[in-house]
Chains A and B, each alone.
Chain A
């Protein structure tokens, strides 16, 4: 995947997220988003009072993956939770790429004081433990915040924390490629410094930036899941995959209702799928 395409996807994703959330930002992550945008029928919040909390039913015709202790359809909840988890991780990755490439390109191309300043700032951010920053920011917010606010804040924090990793990688490539012959050759054809940067230097950083994205996406997916699992993230009536795992947090639950681990499978499958897809595109190019 070329860097330009990746950044384009990142941009489109951010714009699409913003567009979907226009007017009613709750539509973005809330359970109000209905088909056709959600591929399953049924509500992730409908409970069933007849459910035996100690031994919730396994797969039925109605609930493919069984239910949780209060009778909510696990499959529907995993699909809805994925909307929060995947979109959030993707948005945060997109943000990290955009900020990172911008900062890295500026540092690598400018050199000197600008380079040093930007890189020292990046290192300052890199040494911060991401999860704790996320929890600290969450702690600074009111106890109850809307899922939309939570989504945006979490994506922004994760994106900002991930950006320096991308920036450092991009900067290293751009700074070293800057002295290459083809850069001078481009200048010799009359290309402006700006054009040389955008057309000839930034694209060289493509492969390392893609690699960073593949590291960041799973990390963000897990970070959000950890936060929600700890009860500091998305609420039970608007769950993410991490929230769903709260129900699977006891040994007894694992024994009586192992299907509650479905979100774990979903997370692993998502990360694996992305790696396979990235592999395939890079193989096709070479």
Chain B
């Protein structure tokens, strides 16, 4: 009997967050430009999903779509976001206020601009507690200090009285995480949480996220373009390209046997193979939103494209246990004919 990693098999309980066919689009002339197209994934309690992709692949917009904050004039044009089985699409603005911060915490990429410059860190955390009716006044401030202690902020009671500009980058991101956790959410969405930080601080913040996830049994949606971060942090990975999830898999399986040509190209372009070996890059660039092929978005850059790739969007083929890849190469008909999968 082979050992399977727990994360490689579907856990029995229903997912905390289920995204089904999420579509985000921006108006352009008479029509819509689709920046996120039919994205689906699940996140279970205590699980980390790494959402990977390069700039413009739609990963941040997917995250904003999940909490209903797609920046205008864009909007969610289709699909469902189910939190504990309840579709968030139909929520009123007031109902959203009870979900954002309380059920889903959001950590932004750039803590300097995501913290309000005119309020102290403690006030901003206390405000979240007040918004959700968890504590007010002096008690809220005390809990804010406790939260800062939770995120390993040095001298939490001093930091609570500091304005964002008085803190270092890493401390700001800790404050940002404390704000996101103040409402005691079940799901934490972190949008490139370490991109704006020094490398040494990055490692600290990732350690902190891992610790908090375990301590609070958080589900974590980690958005990053850094495969190293994914390898360290994620249980499962969804790779995005051109607004679509092209491959979903457990993290070990993805790194061991990537199936989609884009994922393979991505892994080959990571430095650090054998010393002196030439670094491989994927030819070409991501097509602009209005120049996306009707079929698979990767077609123009793909070394293994087939005749139908540019016109027919491939469905998600099962290529392993809880491992899907959207590529015509896996088409059973081709495999049956003895061609390379």
Residue-by-residue, is A162-203 near B (CB-CB < 8 Å gives 1, otherwise 0)? 000000000000000000111011111111110100011001
* Cα separation A200 to B180 with both chains bound (whole Å): 17
**How far is it, in angstroms, between the C-alpha of A203 and the C-alpha of B127 when the chains are bound?**
15
- The listed residue with most A CB atoms (<10 A of its CB), out of B93, B94, B105, B116, is B116
Please name all residues of chain A whose beta carbon is closer than 8 Å to the beta carbon of B119 when the two chains form the complex.
199-200, 203
The reply on B162 being an interface residue by CB < 8 A is no
Other-chain residue from B71, B93, B113 in contact with A192 (beta carbon distance below 8 A): B93
Which stretch in B73-81, B95-103, B278-286, B296-304 binds the other chain?
Answer: B95-103
Determine whether the beta carbon of A203 is less than 8 Å from that of B69.
Answer: no
CB distance B128 to A189 under 8 Å? yes
Nearest B-chain residue to A182, judged by Cβ: B116
- From B93, B132, B180, A193 is in contact (CB under 8 Å) with B93
Neighbour of B69 across the interface among A182, A187, A199, A204, CB < 8 A: A187
- A187 — which chain B residues lie within 8 A by C-beta? 69, 100
A265 and B71 CA atoms in complex are apart in Å by: 56
Q: Which residues of B contact A182 (CB under 8 A)?
A: 113-117
Question: Is A233's beta carbon under 8 Å from chain B?
Answer: no
A189-B180, A190-B102, A191-B97 known; A199+B127 contact, CB < 8 A: yes
Question: Per a CB cutoff under 8 Å, which of B71, B98, B115 touches A185?
Answer: B115
B253 CB within 8 Å of chain A: no
B97 to chain A, nearest CB (A): 5
A180 to B115, CA, bound (A): 10
Residue A81, interface by CB 8 Å: no
In the complex, the chain B residue whose C-beta lies closest to that of A189 is B101
Q: Tell me the bound Cα distance from A274 to B280 in angstroms.
A: 67
Residue B146 CB within 8 A of the other chain: no
Rounded to whole angstroms, the CA-CA distance of A209 and B298 in the bound complex is: 53
* Chain B residues closer than 8 Å to A206, beta-carbon distance: 118
Looking across the interface, which residue of chain A has its beta carbon closest to that of B100? A190
| Complex Cα gap A135–B131 (Å) | 49
Residue B152 is within 8 A (CB to CB) of chain A in the complex: no
Q: Is the CB of B93 within 8 A of A190?
A: no
Nearest residue in A to B127 (C-beta to C-beta)? A199
B170 part of interface (Cβ distance < 8 Å): no
Main secondary structure of the interface of A (DSSP, over half): helix
**A residues within 8 A CB of B102?**
190
How far is A189 from B67 in the complex, measured between Cα atoms in Å? 10
Task: Check B116–A190 contact: CB distance below 8 A.
Answer: no
| Distance between B188 CB and nearest chain A CB, rounded to angstroms | 11
Task: Determine whether the beta carbon of A181 is less than 8 Å from that of B131.
Answer: no
For the complex formed, measure the closest distance between the CB of B185 and the CB atoms of chain A, giving whole angstroms.
10
Q: Are B183 and A181 in contact (CB under 8 A)?
A: no
- Chain A residues, CB < 8 A from B118: 2, 203-204, 206
A188 contacts which chain B residues (CB < 8 A)? 67, 69, 100-101, 106, 108
Does chain A have a CB within 8 A of B42? no
Residue of B with least CB distance to A199: B127
* Minimum C-beta distance from A13 to chain B (A): 23
> Are A191 and B127 in contact, CB atoms less than 8 angstroms apart?
yes
Q: Do A190 and B113 contact each other (CB < 8 Å), given the known contacts A181-B108, A185-B106, A199-B127?
A: no
Q: Write out the residue numbers on chain A whose beta carbons fall within 8 Å of the beta carbon of B180.
A: 189
Q: Are B182 and A189 in contact (CB under 8 A)?
A: yes
Q: B186 CB to closest chain A CB, in angstroms?
A: 14
Between A and B, 23 residue pairs with Cβ closer than 8 Å are A2-B118, A180-B113, A181-B113, A182-B116, A182-B117, A184-B69, A186-B116, A187-B69, A187-B100, A188-B106, A189-B106, A189-B127, A189-B182, A190-B99, A190-B100, A190-B183, A191-B97, A191-B131, A192-B94, A199-B119, A200-B116, A203-B118, A206-B118
Other 18 A-B pairs with CB < 8 A, given A189-B131, A189-B183: A180-B113, A181-B108, A182-B114, A185-B108, A185-B115, A187-B69, A187-B100, A188-B67, A188-B106, A189-B180, A190-B132, A190-B183, A191-B127, A191-B128, A193-B93, A195-B131, A203-B118, A204-B118
Which B residues contact A (CB, under 8 angstroms)? 67, 69, 71, 93-94, 96-102, 105-106, 108, 110, 113-119, 127-128, 131-132, 176, 179-180, 182-183
